[in-house]
Amino acid sequence: MSDALAVCELELTRTWQSRAAVLAAFITPLAWLLLFGLAFDQGLGVRVGAIGYMAFISPGLVAMLGTFSSLGSGQGIGRDRDTGFLKEMLVAPVSRLSLVAGRGMSVALLALGQALLVLVLVALVGGGLPLPYGALSVLGAAAVLGLLCMGFLGAGLAIAVRSPNATTYQATIGVLTLPMFFLSGALVPISKMPAALQAAAYVNPMAYGIDALRTLLLGEAYSAFPLPLAVLALCGFALFTLGFGARNLTAKA
Amino acid sequence: MLALDARALSKAYGKVHAVQDVTFTIAEGETFGLLGPNGAGKTTTVAMLTTLLAPSAGSARIAGHDVVAEPHEVRTRIGVVFQGPSLDAQLSARQHLRFHARLYHMPRDRALARTDELLRLVELEQRADERVSRLSGGMRRRVEIARALMHRPKVLFLDEPTVGLDPQARRHVWDMLERLQREEGTAVLLTTHHMEEAERLARRVGIMDHGKLLDVAEPAGLKAALGAEVVHLRVAAGQKALAAALARLQGKQGIGAAVWRGDTAEVPVAAADAAVPALLEVVATSGARLASFEVRRPSLEDVFIARTGRALRDAP
């Protein structure tokens, strides 16, 4: 555990040293909510169920931010392999899992910070979130977000360890992210998507993360899957990707 | 207890034997040099000894702990300076040392004291808080060496520590490593294809080629095994008298038969330090005058050529 904390601390230091990355991490949610969400919400008057569009997409945005930074952090392990810094960690008396978990913790912390910003913004200008379970809604959502981050960190890592170089990795991630986002139900309820796209959403791990967040933050009426099923799917996804990634984590490509 | 004990260590990839039956030991505080061309299997040997690669056969112990059965115990006792770079360019030297201390569970106050001590040792106190991307190659190497020593390892692995450095930076790293041998007393496994480096830093040297360890001895012993030292006497005057005198000296003090090439007598001797006084005395009493006098020792390079049939530099 202290090993994972050491890695987490290092990751936060590295993130903090890149001011542009920190700035981007907090401007992106602002842009989505205020420039995109607000336009649909108040410009077009779009509502989903009893809530405004901005509030509706906020769980999806939180999940998207966590997903993308987790994939990026998984890629960071690949970058550490390319620069050789990974060797320093692999030869230390530290388990591979704690190397990965430490990164996961740092990326989850960042995602939680972004989520907090989103919640506050929606409360201020988007009519607020229903939070059907009160404080438990928030704690549960934080846990789901952490789980989602672990899963996609593992996915990023799995792709990184299987890619011969950074270019291949980035191309693979680039091809995956946007379709995954649009097929996740982040912007449109899954039930309103065409049948073929709905089927695609069912095999999209991001969709389960967003759905669980919606159950917790908006209420069951806004979700497509029962919460236990979504959480189970996320657990399975995280275990698979982290296991695969950590097992294939070696010094050389 | 031995710092390192490798027995019949082997690594095969299919039918390719990268490392074959490598056996050697390193005593506590001793510096051992693995000398061989690129592709000889040195780095693969280091990877097995540092738990990064599982051996196909054989075994190895670091300070009594098996590298396969007890990797965690081994990792806490080794420090590694890898052949390629292993720093994060955006972190400073101090940040690298700090993170290392965390990974090796060093108490905070001890880590801070050790950081200052090592930064002084590698002469980087002034640059300790700059990103390492702004340091020269030699300085980065010194950061890696300091980092590997943070947790006071029993065995320090230096895999080609000066490769890619210019001669001046290389000498600086050597000076530093010599100081470190005096002050730290850590056992060192040094791999190199650089003759001078092995002779200067290692007490014993193993010659490695095509995955096999061909010979292990002190550098002087390896050279002695190759043949005697040869004293070259170039004569300015009195060649005949000297030739006669040298013939009478033959057999005494380990002095062999002189071979004349023009005006130069090449006298093989068992050990120059014992033979030179006798030779000089003979020169004086024979009345000959010398133009030059030289003791030629076979270099490790000569040893390498003799053992492998090829030179280190042009080895593939």
| Residue B162 C-alpha, separation from nearest chain A C-alpha, in angstroms | 17
What pLDDT sits at residue B316? 44
Burial of B313 (0-12, 13-18, 19+ CB in 10 A): exposed
What is the SS3 assignment for A163?
coil
- Phi/psi at B65 (5° precision): -105, 135
Q: Which two tokens stand for residue B130?
A: 């700059």
Place of tokens 């550098």: B219
- What's the CA gap between B108 and B114, in Å, rounded? 10
Place of tokens 């209420």: A219
- Phi/psi at A234 (5° precision): -65, -40
Q: Which two tokens stand for residue B66?
A: 């098996």
B51 interaction partners in chain A (CB closer than 8 Å): 91
Contact between B78 and B112 under an 8 Å Cβ cutoff? The reply is no
CA A35 from chain centre, in angstroms, equals 21
Contact between B279 and B230 under an 8 Å Cβ cutoff? The reply is no
Q: How many CA atoms lie within 13 A of B316 on its CB side?
A: 1
- Record: contact A93-B75, CB cut-off 8 A: yes
What pLDDT sits at residue B257? 81
Contact between B121 and B113 under an 8 Å Cβ cutoff? The reply is no
Nearest beta carbon to residue A91 from set B50, B85, B99: B50
CB burial of A91-109 (b: ≥16 within 10 Å; e: otherwise) equals: bbbbebbbbbbbbbbbbbb
| A-interface mutation test, from B86, B95, B141, B152, most A Cβ less than 10 A away | B86
- What's the CA gap between A175 and A165, in Å, rounded? 16
Q: Is residue B52 less than 8 Å (CB to CB) from chain A?
A: yes
In CATH, the number for domain B4-219 is 3.40.50.300
B225, B220, B233: which is closest to B275 by C-alpha?
B233
Angle (CA) A123 A126 A129, round 5°: 55
Q: Is residue B50 less than 8 Å (CB to CB) from chain A?
A: yes
What pLDDT sits at residue B309? 67
Residues forming CATH 3.30.70.100 domain(s) in chain B: 228-297
Q: Is residue B107 less than 8 Å (CB to CB) from chain A?
A: no
B102 interaction partners in chain A (CB closer than 8 Å): 2, 6, 9-10
Integer CA distances (angstroms), A170 to A47, A75, A167, in order: 36, 8, 5
Chain segment A231-243, per-residue pLDDT in tens:
999 999 999 999 8
Chain segment A42-62, per-residue pLDDT in tens:
888 888 888 999 999 999 999
Contact between B44 and B102 under an 8 Å Cβ cutoff? The reply is no
DSSP annotation of A187 reads: S
Chain segment A21-50, per-residue pLDDT in tens:
889 888 988 898 888 888 898 888 888 888
pLDDT, greater one: A50 or A9: A9
Contact between B59 and B7 under an 8 Å Cβ cutoff? The reply is yes
Give the residue on B whose Cα is nearest the Cα of A10.
Answer: B99
Q: Is residue B11 less than 8 Å (CB to CB) from chain A?
A: no
What percent of chain A is modeled with pLDDT above 70? 99
- Record: contact A85-B86, CB cut-off 8 A: yes
Q: Is residue A3 less than 8 Å (CB to CB) from chain B?
A: yes
- Record: contact A91-B75, CB cut-off 8 A: yes
Place of tokens 């043949």: B227
| Residue A84 C-alpha, separation from nearest chain B C-alpha, in angstroms | 4
Residues forming CATH 3.40.50.300 domain(s) in chain B: 4-219
The DSSP H or E segment spanning A190 is: none
HEC profile of chain B: CCCEEEEEEEEEECCEEEEEEEEEEECCCCEEEEECCCCCCHHHHHHHHCCCCCCCEEEEEECCEECCCCHHHHHHCEEEECCCCCCCCCCEHHHHHHHHHHHCCCCHHHHHHHHHHHHHHCCCHHHCCCEHHHCCHHHHHHHHHHHHHCCCCCEEEEECCCCCCCHHHHHHHHHHHHHHHHHHCCEEEEEECCHHHHHHHCCEEEEEECCEEEEEECHHHHHHHHCCEEEEEEEEECHHHHHHHHHHHCCHHHECCCEEECCEEEEEECCHHHHHHHHHHHHHHHCCEEEEEEEECCCHHHHHHHHHCCCCCCCC
Integer CA distances (angstroms), A14 to A21, A83, A242, B127, in order: 10, 15, 22, 19
Burial of B287 (0-12, 13-18, 19+ CB in 10 A): exposed
Nearest beta carbon to residue A93 from set B91, B95, B104: B104
Which residues fall within 8 angstroms of residue B158, CB to CB, at 6 or more apart?
Answer: B81, B145, B177, B188, B189, B190, B191
Sheet of B289-296: strand order equals B259-261, B264-269, B229-237, B289-296
What pLDDT sits at residue B313? 54
Place of tokens 């928030």: A138
A210, A231, A9: which is closest to A109 by C-alpha?
A9
Mind listing the pLDDT tens digit of every residue in chain B (316 residues)? 899 999 999 999 988 999 999 999 999 999 999 988 888 899 999 999 999 999 999 999 999 999 999 999 999 999 999 999 999 999 999 999 999 999 999 999 999 999 999 999 899 999 999 999 999 999 999 999 999 999 999 999 999 999 888 888 899 889 989 988 888 889 999 999 887 888 889 999 998 989 999 888 887 777 666 556 788 899 998 888 899 988 888 888 888 888 788 888 888 787 888 888 888 888 888 888 999 998 887 667 777 776 776 666 554 4
Sign of CA dihedral A82, B122, B196, B17: negative
Work out how many CB contacts closer than 8 A connect A with B.
Answer: 64
- Record: contact A91-B72, CB cut-off 8 A: no
Q: Which two tokens stand for residue A91?
A: 């030869």
Q: What angle, rounded to 10 degrees, do the helices at B167-184 and B137-149 form?
A: 20
| Residue A167 C-alpha, separation from nearest chain B C-alpha, in angstroms | 19
- What's the CA gap between A177 and A183, in Å, rounded? 10
Q: In terms of CATH architecture, what is B228-297? A: 2-Layer Sandwich (3.30)
Evaluate if residue A197 carries a pLDDT over 80. Answer: yes
Chain segment A107-160, per-residue pLDDT in tens:
999 999 999 999 999 999 888 899 999 999 999 999 999 999 999 999 999 898
* Position A191 confidence tier, pLDDT thresholds 50, 70, 90: confident
Contact between A53 and A37 under an 8 Å Cβ cutoff? The reply is yes
Q: Is residue A253 less than 8 Å (CB to CB) from chain B?
A: no
Contact between A251 and A90 under an 8 Å Cβ cutoff? The reply is yes
